[in-house]
Amino acid sequence: MPDISRTPFCRKKHITGEGAGIIARCGNIPVYTADFDVLTKLTGFHLTRGMLAAMYRPTLPSVEEVCAGARRITVLENVMNPTNVGAIFRSAAALNIDAVLLTPTCSDPLYHRAIRVSMGTVF
């Protein structure tokens, strides 16, 4: 079984269509294709562009590393709604907050809804 932890999945039509440029940058990484309904069943939600990538997440920095040199820090405790997490990250960026800390009971800031609401500032 191939390691799918860094593998793109996409609709068959994207091999030569919208995803061709992204796929070209994948080098020797295999790209798996499927029909839209199969990808929907696999992920549990409709892919807005019909492309998906699974990859390793880097090791999270320690609280000390995140706070080193930070003057203003936002702490989120038990914020379980990904929309709220995304909005807080976007607001923190607008207010020039240096760091954002989340307790383990918070929603994942890399959940697709949090990313969308934050307009990518969670990265």
Residue-wise pLDDT for 12-42, tens only, equals 888 888 778 877 877 787 888 888 888 778 7
Q: How confident is the model at residue 101 (pLDDT cuts 50, 70, 90)?
A: very high
Residues 6+ apart with CB under 8 A from 3: none
In angstroms, the CA 91 to CA 25 distance is 33
3-state DSSP assignment of residue 45: coil
Q: Which pLDDT does position 18 carry in this prediction?
A: 77
Question: 55 pLDDT exceeds 70?
Answer: no
3-state DSSP assignment of residue 7: strand
Residue 46 vs residue 6, higher pLDDT: 46
Q: How far apart are the first and last CA of the chain?
A: 31
Q: Which pLDDT does position 6 carry in this prediction?
A: 55
Query: What is the distance, to the nearest Å, from the Cα of residue 123 to the centroid of all Cα atoms in its chain?
Result: 8
Name the DSSP letter for residue 44: S
Among 55-69, 72-86, 105-119, whose mean pLDDT is lowest? 55-69
In angstroms, the CA 9 to CA 15 distance is 10
Q: Which pLDDT does position 63 carry in this prediction?
A: 94
Residues 6+ apart with CB under 8 A from 123: 115
- Pairing relationship of beta strands 7-11 and 32-34 according to DSSP bridges: parallel
Q: Which pLDDT does position 103 carry in this prediction?
A: 94
Q: How confident is the model at residue 120 (pLDDT cuts 50, 70, 90)?
A: confident
